[in-house]
Amino acid sequence: MKNKRKPKILFVATLPPPIHGSAVVSQQIKESKLINDTFDGEWINLSTSRKMDEIGKNTPINLCKKLFRFISSLFRTLWLLIIHRYDMCYLAITCHGDGFIKDSPYALLCKLFCKKIIIHQHNKGMSNDVDNWPYRWLLPLVYKNAKVILLSWYLYPDIERVVPKENVLICPNGIKIPSTVKRNKEKHVVPRLLFLSNLVETKGVIVLLDALKILADKGISFQCDFVGGESRKIDASRFAEEVDKRQLNRIVFYRGRKYGEEKEMILDQSDVFVFPSMEDCFPLVILEAMSHSLPIVTTAEGAIPDEVTDDVNGFISEKGNAVSLADCIEKLLYDGELRQKMGKAGNERVESLFSEKKFEERMHEILLRCSC
């Protein structure tokens, strides 16, 4: 008896390095035993940057590297589409700005050779471009008749003018939950706050420093660690200047990038996770903090309300408002029992809804339904 043929899928997505949200999710799909047992997949790496410091740096050497990688990947995509008959093409492309212009040729090639297209949306910003040239004609061309995976219904308003609701599928991200996580946080005499992301203004770095200044001026005891890579606008030197300007040198520390065990250790040693983002979709870092039983202070940006329920496993502050952010943090600094309660609620939420296993099951079901 012949084995039933596996549906054949061409996956076009960004893979690490560098490590960031969409690349991590793509790697999860690529390594999933459940998905690999069901589908015959081939992968094209969309990334033109191989290191974090290559992102956004358009020096002549970097531009040449990126152009070579783009052309190589595009020609490989064309070659695979010519020599294989795929049941479906899966694309995790950028939906706005220059990233969309760069990624759209892959989508158009796939549409020429394959009838079933599924686009996995890890970002937003389409609504800002849809009325502008060339997006007003290119976006409908790329997304026409394609199924679109969103991380949450909170993100649908961004694409509603281009993608009808019946073509949308919802699949929240999930994370691998470390087995070594400390479930019961030690009560530190001086509570430890943690910000874990690159030093990008839209992630709330400056507004958090302003909030910490408000708390320090009230005489409230705390320590805050900033962990993540430098950015073009906020490098270690600029960050140190901002800290010094607010006289926070003794309580605010920049720890640089942390990966693997070092990152897990600093999450375990923290009491409150603060992420006042002003531009995000579905940040995995919040799930990571929840898996470490940390209460969350964040904003209602993107799909964050799916991750954090206000006054249950954290507090939602007003975007860009340092006073609102300081008020939320202050509640947790003064109440160790509340930190424990919210941290436990967050841990239970991430294990029940946002584990890697749950994500793989949801993605497997979507791929199976769309490829048949």
How far apart, in whole angstroms, are the C-alpha atoms of residue 335 and residue 340?
9
**Residue spans of the chain under pLDDT 50:** 1
Residues 147 and 272 in one domain: no
Q: Do the bridges between strand 8-13 and strand 117-120 make them parallel or antiparallel, or are there none, so unpaired?
A: unpaired
Query: Sign of the C-alpha dihedral, residues 323, 198, 258, 99?
Result: positive
Q: Which residue, among 229, 189, 222, 190, has the nearest Cα to 208 in the 3D structure?
A: 222
Q: Please report, rounded to a whole number, the percentage of residues in the chain having pLDDT higher than 90.
A: 86
Same domain, yes or no: 136 and 22 = yes
Same domain, 151 and 79: yes
Cβ–Cβ < 8 Å for 82, 114: no
Give the residue numbers spanning the domain of 280. Answer: 192-353
On whether residue 235 sits in a domain, the answer given is yes
* CATH code at position 278: 3.40.50.2000
| Residue among 173, 166, 132 nearest 146 (CA) | 166
Tokens of 146: 């394609």
Q: Is 245 exposed, middle or buried (0-12, 13-18, 19+ CB in 10 A)?
A: exposed
Residues 98 and 139 in one domain: yes
Please report how the helices 236-245 and 205-217 are oriented relative to each other, as an axis angle in degrees rounded to 10: 30
For the chain, what is the radius of gyration of the CA atoms? Answer: 22
Domain membership flag for residue 329: yes
118 and 42 housed in the same domain: yes
135, 205: one domain: no
The tokens 């805050």 sit on which residue? 224
- Tell me, yes or no, whether 181 lies in a domain: no
In a domain, 50, yes or no: yes
According to DSSP, the β-strands at 40-45 and 192-196 are unpaired
Question: Which residues, listed in sequence order, are joined to residue 272 by a DSSP beta bridge?
Answer: 193
Residue 151 sits in the same domain as residue 209 = no
**Same structural domain for residues 326 and 215?**
yes
Q: Give every strand in the sheet of 40-45, ordered side by side.
A: 40-45, 8-13, 88-91, 117-120, 147-150, 168-170
Q: What is the total count of domains within the chain? A: 2
Distance, in Å, from the CA atom of 372 to the CA atom of 362, rounded to the nearest integer, reads: 16
The answer as to whether 180 is a domain residue is no
Q: What percent of the chain has pLDDT over 70?
A: 95
Q: Are residues 233 and 103 in the same domain?
A: no
82-105 pLDDT, tens digit per residue, is: 999 999 999 999 999 999 999 999
Q: Are 126 and 92 in contact (CB under 8 A)?
A: no
Its pTM surpasses 0.95: no
The model's pLDDT over 328-356, given as tens digits with 9 standing for 90+, comes to 999 999 999 999 999 999 999 999 999 99
Round to whole Å and give the CA distance between 208 and 271. 16
Residue 187 lies in a domain: no
Please return the burial class of 145, using the count of CB atoms within 10 Å of its CB with bins 0-12, 13-18 and 19+.
Answer: exposed
In tens, the pLDDT along 14-56 reads 999 877 778 999 999 999 999 999 999 999 999 887 665 556 5
Cα–Cα distance for residue pair 293/202, rounded to 1 Å: 25
Contacts 24+ apart (CB under 8 A), 98-107: 99/123, 100/126, 100/129, 100/135, 100/138, 100/139, 100/142, 101/134, 101/138, 102/48, 102/70, 103/46, 104/138, 104/142, 105/74, 106/12, 106/44, 106/46, 106/73, 106/74, 106/77, 107/142, 107/146
224 in a structural domain: yes
Considering the domain architecture, whether residues 168 and 35 belong to the same structural domain is answered as: yes
SS3 334: coil
Looking at the structure, tell me whether residues 260 and 284 fall in a common domain: yes
Same domain for 156 and 196, yes or no, is no
Does a structural domain hold residue 159? Answer: yes
| CATH number, position 18 | 3.40.50.11930
Do 272 and 297 meet the contact criterion of CB atoms below 8 Å apart?
yes
CB 144 within 8 A of CB 115: no
Q: What is the mean pLDDT of the chain?
A: 94
**Residue 302 · residue 261 · CB < 8 Å:** no
Q: What is the pLDDT of residue 5?
A: 86
Listing DSSP states for 230-243 in one string gives --SSS-HHHHHHHH
